Amino acid sequence: MALLEQVDIWLFRLLNLSLVHPALDDLMVFLTAPKLSGHILLLIALFVLVRAGKSGIALLLLVFASLGLADFIASGLLKPLVQRIRPCFALDHVRLLINQPHSYSFASSHAANAASVAAMLWIFFHRGVLVEKLFTGIIIFYAFAIAFSRAYTGVHYPSDLLAGMIIGIGSAAFIYLFFSWVLKNIVQPWRMRQNRVD
């Protein structure tokens, strides 16, 4: 465990101190602050509604359900359970670019939330036409950029980000599979019974 912790710290310092450039600072702050970049979610929702039509509303509900599950696991369960101190409080010489969050570090809810959205959209759009594939690729890149920004700005270790992304992908998969099970085993049989009655 000590070796893994040292590797984690080394990777954090690499992302926070070495792989940095003043030209990237504003972009990373933009990506990491929902108040600044939250409108991108509205653009994502608009794309989904335009491309998926009426079923886009159901897809957005699945996106929000997976996001809510990912956030609950990362922030509601793991952070109070693990109680890991953020690197900006635990380490010296951290390059901190945003206000110091006073919540715990593991796991990153930003990474979990972004990954859950990207994973759910990938499930529905990765086999679509070119514009949908491009959209999926951009959203995946955006999710990785959000995760990267959390270490870049000094508030998360890389392991926090990896755990968050795993939580996000797992949450999207669980919500999708649960929705598919309900659709197949409850909704469709009910519709068949209704059609027989009519």
Percent of the chain, pLDDT > 90?
A: 73
Mean pLDDT for the stretch of residues 29-48: 84
Q: Is the pLDDT of residue 197 over 80?
A: no
pTM over 0.75, yes/no: yes
Q: Per residue in 52-71, pLDDT tens?
A: 888 889 999 999 999 999 99
Query: Rounded mean pLDDT of 157-179?
Result: 97
Which class is 28-193 in CATH? Answer: mainly alpha
When pLDDT is cut at 50, 70 and 90, the band that residue 198 belongs to is low
d(CA 112, CA 22) in angstroms, rounded, equals 27
Of residues 143 and 191, the one with the higher pLDDT is: 143
pLDDT of residue 27: 93
How do the domains of the chain map onto residue ranges?
28-193
- In terms of residues, how long is the chain? 198
Q: Residue range 119-137: average pLDDT?
A: 92
Distances (CA, A) of 6 to 14, 28, 106: 12, 25, 16
Q: What is the per-residue pLDDT for 35? A: 74
- 188 phi/psi in degrees, rounded to 5: -65, -45
Q: Which residue is it, tokens 């893994």? A: 4
Helices 130-152, 39-52: inter-axial angle, 10-degree rounding: 160
| pLDDT attached to residue 94 | 94
Q: Where are the beta strands (DSSP E) in 36-175?
A: none
pLDDT of 190 over the 90 cut: no
Is the bond preceding residue 33 a cis peptide, omega within 30 degrees? Answer: no
